[in-house]
Chains A and B, each alone.
Chain A
């Protein structure tokens, strides 16, 4: 064999290889990519190389002393000014999210842990953009997705998370917008009645009342499918956190943290719940990518933002 220029035998795309490494391919896609790898030495070599590099990245390889110093300065700042308040805010969730299927009150705790920066009027728009209240799914008449209980619950979870974050931000206008959005998402008569009762008491809504409301909405379509409500809360809490992408956000997404442990449980529970019906495959696929996404910096968090937008859109359809 001579050392001449030979055609490169590559068939798999970089994203195919990346999805295989992250374990985010559906069974049929995985088979397709494996069939490609069975024919291409170059792709196989690249797969091995990429996997080895990612392993080193996750083990915390620091390329240069300068990068190391930047990381250490940031870590100290984050620990001093962010970790304690965030852990306190997540205290309720911390106690309760040890069960295999979290309860609504624990999900509410997670939403309350979303870092908001400064508080007061306009703080929601400042932190999350002017379109923070837009649901990300169509709300036109004849929207067929509302015929699916899991979708209705997901939507309610998303809007409840917005209500919680609006309260954390002490933004009264935002609270009113959020409760109206929650009322719109509440598809059953009883759910809508509960939201209207809370709305009638005026803003702000007491924390205990919000928790009671969350518990009621979660079981409004049957307690056995409450996981879709939880997913809505989780996705919107995570999406808002990633959108703001403050250094505090890395606490929310740290691998050993409450939010990511909860996500693993939710993915498992939703897969069991969706089994055989093929529901929300896009949502679950997007969340598996989120779960596999290593977060070590604010830039890693901001890269989750679009993914979580996709997840919320997928869950609400």
Chain B
């Protein structure tokens, strides 16, 4: 009856082999969820398995039985994929504006500023993934994204010349909105840091990560119906705290409500 830290290599190898089908299932799910191409998928699979075997199965040796092994392997593989993608594509961080605008805006931003597509190409790709949104709406969404450094210039002329071109938000209104949001975000982070840990995490999940209430309920194992009034109460607390900091009530209410409608 050996503990993980005293298990010998043969035991750990046996554990690895016994769970190899499960590991492969998890990797296949990750490949599907992240839409990895065939080459990337094969490369990730072999690299991830190497990481699990490396240093005499160090990953398995570290397992302290505080969770099920399947769940542990899942979190390890999630982290490995994140490391793998960072190495492949560099450390990508979405802008605050795209994060607020939602998952479609995040996708557009990645396609344009990380993967180097033109706006037209990114809109076409996003439309095929989200056929419920027409290209005009997507173009308007793309035009509202903040400019970021990229190797190639965005082909805005092509967008403007098109007869369906959206009205691009001009500098001063967008800049004012961005400045207001930055002020609110700093104040919000300060308020959230004073909340109890579970409330702080719920706020981050709902307002920063835009998770559904069902997802929050599942991940934190909380009662879903009880979360709705709890989040409403948190919104009220956030608004009150921001007002105390002298931030304009109408603008704040609009921003906070806008975050919570996803």
Contact = CB atoms under 8 A, between A and B. Distances in A.
A15 B67 contact: yes
A198 interface: no
Contacts of B15: 302-303
A21 B29 contact: no
A19 B67 contact: yes
A56 B204 CA distance: 24
Interface string A240-251: 000000000000
Contact of B71 (A21, A63, A306): A21
Interface stretch (A34-42, A105-113, A158-166): A34-42
Nearest to A310: B65
Contacts of A6: 91, 93
B74 A18 contact: yes
Given A23-B221, A48-B209, A57-B25, A292 B68 contact: yes
Interface string A33-55: 01101100110111111111111
A275 interface: no
Interface string B123-163: 00000000000000000000000001110000000000000
Interface string B211-238: 1000100111100000000000000000
A270 to B, nearest CB: 19
A37 B150 CA distance: 31
Interface in A262-316: 285-286, 289, 292-294, 297-300, 302-303, 306-307, 309-310, 313
Contacts of B3: 310
Interface residues of B, number: 61
Contacts of A310: 1, 3, 65
Interface string A1-25: 1111110101000110111111111
B21 interface: yes
A292 B69 CA distance: 11
Contacts of A53: 26, 29-30, 33, 74, 78
A64 interface: yes
B74 A38 contact: no
B71 A56 contact: no
A38 B219 contact: no
- The secondary structure that dominates the A interface is helix
A44 B201 contact: yes
B63 interface: yes
B198 interface: yes
B90 A4 contact: yes
Given A3-B90, A55-B218, A18 B71 contact: yes
Nearest to B20: A299
A61 interface: yes
A38 B204 contact: yes
B70 A14 contact: no
B114 interface: yes
Interface of A: 1-6, 8, 10, 14-15, 17-25, 31, 34-35, 37-38, 41-42, 44-57, 61-64, 67, 70, 136, 285-286, 289, 292-294, 297-300, 302-303, 306-307, 309-310, 313
9 contacts: A1-B95, A18-B68, A19-B67, A34-B201, A46-B78, A52-B33, A53-B74, A302-B15, A306-B2
